[in-house]
Amino acid sequence: MPRPNPGRSLYAERNLAERIGLELKERGWTYEATAAHLAEVGCPIQPSGVYKIVKQGRRVTVDELVAFSRVFGLDVDNLLLGAAGAPNARFAELLKAYDEAQFAAARAVAVATEAARAIYAFARAEGGGFMRAVEHLEADGLIVSPDLEQEIAAVARDDAPLDLPGVPPWDRPDFKED
């Protein structure tokens, strides 16, 4: 007589099925649309297969799990949390998106600062300084944004000798507030 299989204690497949059902409902996707999305990422499955996963406990292969992850834009671990873990997972996703946006913004500022430094260096190499370069650009009909002017003015202040008359101490790079 064959031995019975031991019971499962993780319930990962049931959690996954619940989560897939929740994601379909939140997105307003039909089983047909979901099957089409899965086919787009290289995992063709019949709409009835998606239905059976959600409603009848059909097992999910690893390839299908990865495909659902890609289609929904969620980590595999996130999908396995099931419907109960979705709000916390969504919160974590929002935090991650915020952090990524903050990093991208900081990177953009760094790139803009480097561009301003390069523009300033180019203007100095031409011998006229930045304001003269701006005057030439504006004479040619080009507009230099006030943000760029401010950024380059800051670069110029940082580059200026500290003993220049008329440069207040708070505009010097070595200034420290008490």
pLDDT, tens digit (0-9, with 9 covering 90-100), for 46-90: 999 999 999 988 999 999 999 999 999 888 888 888 777 777 777
Does 127 have pLDDT greater than 80? no
pLDDT of residue 20: 94
pLDDT at 152: 76
> Would you place residue 30 in the very low, low, confident or very high pLDDT band (cuts 50, 70, 90)?
very high
**pLDDT per position as a tens digit, 138-161:** 777 877 788 877 887 777 777 666
Domain boundaries, the chain: 12-84, 101-171
CATH class of 12-84: mainly alpha
CA distance 144 to 135: 9
The answer to whether the CB of 93 falls within 8 A of the CB of 85 is: no
What does the alpha-carbon distance between residue 167 and residue 170 come to, in Å, rounded to a whole number? 8
Whether residue 57 contacts residue 13, with contact meaning beta carbons closer than 8 Å, is answered with yes
Q: What DSSP state is assigned to residue 10?
A: S
CA 72 to chain centre: 16
Query: Predicted confidence band at 128 (pLDDT cuts at 50, 70, 90)?
Result: low
pLDDT over 80 (residue 42): yes
CA–CA gap between residue 26 and residue 20 (Å, rounded): 10
**3-state secondary structure string, 61-96?**
CHHHHHHHHHHHCCCHHHHCCCCCCHHHHHHHHHHH
Whether 167 and 156 have beta carbons less than 8 Å apart is answered as no
Taking CA atoms, 109 is separated from 30, 55, 66, 104, 114, in Å, by 43, 50, 36, 9, 9
pLDDT at 120: 78
